[in-house]
Structure 1
Amino acid sequence: DTVLLSLPNSNVAASVIDDVIDVIAARHCILDTTTGDPEQIEALGVRLAKKGASYLEANVAGSSVQMRERKAVLLLGGEADVVAAQEPLFSTLAKKRFHVGSVGAGSRFKLVHNLILGLNRAALAEGLNLAEALGFEAKRALEILKQTPATSGVMETKGSKMAARNYEPPQARLAQHHKDVRLILELAAKLEAKTPLSAAHRELLARAEELGFASADNAAIIEAYRAKG
């Protein structure tokens, strides 16, 4: 029996497992799409293995809209034979999926992905804010930029939201990405990996939350630039 989890963070995932641990058995495969702390995810895997159950990470690289359209990418962490057994389900969920290692590897790679994607959004926000400060209309600036080497997937998915200041309904909430950036910085600090841009990114996200955009689409990071003071 396959159980699919899709939860806000690994603390919530652990709490859910706590609630059902007594009924989990060897026939179960827990498939977890939660973006969380890799060490917590590994601990969950060990705990479930003691019950004889299988545990797989299926981290989603993409928005909820992309997931519905099967355009998101799955980053899989777990034993190869368990991944192979779940292939029919994975092929239904996404056209592209990559097995990146054992349990914990999926979460680690997802944080790498989210670091790059989030900084792309921040760079776009900074550029559009400068364009506005220079007297260019953001919508027109986007139309031109999309025809240049500066174009990006983020420009396609988030540019119009930033230009129109329309962040509802959210494809992915700003507070959720702020959580991811905190995880990125914690992991990088343990490894002594330099992440100065992510540190600056965290401050921008915190400012956007202070302005009331925690539950808004993560394109609202541009409001941290637009805010005075």
Structure 2
Amino acid sequence: MRVGFIGAGRMGAPMVRRLADAGHQVRALGRDDEKRAAVAALGAEPVDSPRAAVTDAEVTIICVFTDDQVLALCPDLIDEVPEGSVLVLHTTGSPRTAEALAERGAARRVAIIDAPVSGGPHDIAAGTVTVFAGGDEDAVSRAREVLTAYADPVLHVGPVGSGQRVKLVNNALFAAQIGAVAEGVRLGDRLGIDEATLLSALTHGSAASRALGGIAATGSAEAFIARVGEFIGKDVAVVRRTVSELDGDLGRLEGLLDSALK
């Protein structure tokens, strides 16, 4: 398929490579010579503007870092993508953003899918990142051939905005699990248990989780939080802001989210 791609950075670059390797015709934005050279090395056609990236695209993929970047880019981009095409939003953000863009897209028969991912660049490179897709069933079906180049599973979780809602719950729980492990390490310290010994033992017990496994592999809760703090902090901020926008609250998760950021 013809794919336009904007956001070939830390997460987007392995997506572009896998799309190109799968035989898709990919045009990807590179804003300077160095970035365009990097795009070409991934197997895609480098272009110097968002408009050039989406020309003739059947599916356009947006993988920028923040919801604000999506809001700055996508309203005008919807007017540039071909009628009848699909625009996929991989950025984790507010479901209200996806819903507003879907309303704008409807006038030009441009389907919007909010499709945040769960996993990192290594999962994308392996083709095993998880996608939570919110949107019309037909649109998700049309985009699936593209998404499955780097994602497995691709889960259709409901209408537009549902992907973001599921991802926000996922992120809240993951951050809470990190916070719970950090509190467990503090308890172990008070009980006189060495942290490395404790973490290694817990990975074999009923307390095992992906968060615990990542912390144990890193060596300590403090080191893990320092390594992923920027991304966890962003996700927690988005969770809190979005829950507030939706007139909800985090309940007992709130304190654990604080522990994940210490």
TM-score range, shorter chain: 0.7 to 0.9
Structure 2: tracts of 5 or more residues without a match: 1-56
Q: Which secondary structure state, in structure 1, belongs to the residue aligned with residue 206 of structure 2?
A: coil
Instruction: Decide whether aligned partners of structure 1 residues 85 and 61 sit closer, same or farther in structure 2, where only a CA change above 3 A counts.
Output: same
2:220 matched to 1:176? no
- In structure 1, the partner of 2:22 is none
Task: Encode CA deviations 1:155-205: one digit per residue, 9 max, x unaligned.
Answer: 1122232528545995xx423333332333344445554423333245445
- In structure 1, the partner of 2:137 is 80
- In structure 2, the partner of 1:46 is 103
The residue identity in structure 1 corresponding to 2:135 is G
- For the 8 Å contact 2:131–2:151, the answer to whether it is kept is yes
Mean CA deviation greater in 98-107 or 135-144 = 135-144
Task: Encode CA deviations 1:83-108: one digit per residue, 9 max, x unaligned.
Answer: 11122122222221210111111101
Equivalent position to 1:65, from 119, 122, 128: 122
- In structure 1, the partner of 2:250 is 195
- In structure 2, the partner of 1:142 is 199
Q: Which secondary structure state, in structure 2, belongs to the residue aligned with residue 23 of structure 1?
A: coil
Mean CA deviation greater in 136-145 or 65-74 = 65-74
Mean CA deviation greater in 41-50 or 178-187 = 178-187
Instruction: Decide whether aligned partners of structure 1 residues 7 and 50 sit closer, same or farther in structure 2, where only a CA change above 3 A counts.
Output: same
Task: Encode CA deviations 1:29-72: one digit per residue, 9 max, x unaligned.
Answer: 21111100111121011112223222112211222322222332
The residue identity in structure 1 corresponding to 2:236 is V
2:215 matched to 1:158? yes
Structure 2 distance, partners of 1:168, 1:120, is 12
Structure 1: tracts of 5 or more residues without a match: 206-220, 225-229
Instruction: Decide whether aligned partners of structure 1 residues 46 and 150 sit closer, same or farther in structure 2, where only a CA change above 3 A counts.
Output: same
Instruction: Decide whether aligned partners of structure 1 residues 204 and 168 sit closer, same or farther in structure 2, where only a CA change above 3 A counts.
Output: closer
- For the 8 Å contact 1:54–1:82, the answer to whether it is kept is yes
Equivalent position to 1:31, from 88, 94, 115: 88
TM-score normalised by L of structure 1: 0.78
Q: Which secondary structure state, in structure 2, belongs to the residue aligned with residue 31 of structure 1?
A: strand
2:171 matched to 1:110? no
Structure 2 distance, partners of 1:204, 1:142, is 17
Task: Encode CA deviations 1:122-161: one digit per residue, 9 max, x unaligned.
Answer: 1111112322343322111112111211111211122232
Structure 1 distance, partners of 2:158, 2:256, is 28
Q: Which secondary structure state, in structure 1, belongs to the residue aligned with residue 149 of structure 2?
A: helix
Query: Alignment identity in percent?
Result: 23
The residue identity in structure 2 corresponding to 1:110 is K
The residue identity in structure 2 corresponding to 1:52 is R
Equivalent position to 2:182, from 125, 128, 131: 125
Equivalent position to 1:96, from 153, 165, 176: 153
TM-score normalised by L of structure 2: 0.69
- For the 8 Å contact 1:24–1:51, the answer to whether it is kept is no
Q: Which has the higher helix share?
A: 1
- What is the root-mean-square deviation in Å for CA atoms of aligned residues? 2.5
Q: How many residues in Structure 1 have an aligned counterpart in Structure 2?
A: 205
Instruction: Decide whether aligned partners of structure 1 residues 144 and 202 sit closer, same or farther in structure 2, where only a CA change above 3 A counts.
Output: closer
Q: Which secondary structure state, in structure 1, belongs to the residue aligned with residue 93 of structure 2?
A: coil
- In structure 1, the partner of 2:15 is none
- For the 8 Å contact 1:125–1:162, the answer to whether it is kept is no
Structure 1 distance, partners of 2:169, 2:252, is 13
Structure 1 distance, partners of 2:177, 2:249, is 18
- In structure 2, the partner of 1:6 is 63
- In structure 2, the partner of 1:185 is 240
